[in-house]
Amino acid sequence: MSTWKDSIDIFLSKDQLEARIQEMGKELARDYEGKDLLVVGLLNGVFIFMADLVRAMDMRLEVAFMQVASYGGNTISTGEVNILHDLERPIGGRHVLIVEDIVDTGLTLHKVRNMLLDRQPASLKIATLLDKPCRRNVQVPVDYVGFTLDDHFAVGFGLDLDGKFRNLPFLGVYNPS
C-alpha cells in the first residue's frame, strides 16, 4: 500500500507554518485594532489555516464561511467558479478579511471579492497562506501572504487533491510517480 511519502515532498514544515501564521496574526490584529472585523474563510481548504490564524489574532472578531469550488478534483483550476454556500449575514459597513488557503489563477478571489464589494463593506482585504503569482490569470490584490509558491501543486495543512491529504500537518508539493 502506498503512503503520502510516495508522491509528496515536504515544502513547509509544521514549525515553519506555525511561526509565519503567528506573525500574520499579530500583524492583522495590529492593522484591525478597534475595528468591527468579520473574517470570511473560503472553504474547504482554508479551515486549518484559518483556525490557527484567528487564534493568533488577539482581538475581538467574528468568523463566517463561504464555500466556493473551482478545481473539481483536478490539479488545475477549471476556470469556472461556483458559489456553493454564501454568507448568512450582511457585511455592509463592516471591515471584512477574506481568508484563502491558496491564490492560484485569481479567478475564485476575483469573483468572491467583486461579489462582496457589491455589498458595501467598510473595507475588504485578502489574506492567504500560499500565493502562486506565476499562475495568475486575473489580478487580485492580496494584502497578507504567508508564503509564495512556484508553479507546483500543494497539498497538506488543509489543501487537498480530490479530497485527500488535507490532514497532513505540513505543506507538501505533489509529485505523482
How many angstroms separate the CA atoms of 61 and 160, rounded?
28
Out of 104, 118, 151, 162, which one is annotated catalytic? 104
How many angstroms separate the CA atoms of 33 and 142, rounded?
20
Q: 71: closest CA among 141, 138, 161? A: 161
How many angstroms separate the CA atoms of 40 and 96, rounded?
7
Sign of CA dihedral 129, 133, 139, 142: positive
Tell me if residue 131 is catalytic. Answer: no
How many angstroms separate the CA atoms of 152 and 155, rounded?
10
Q: Catalytic site residues?
A: 104
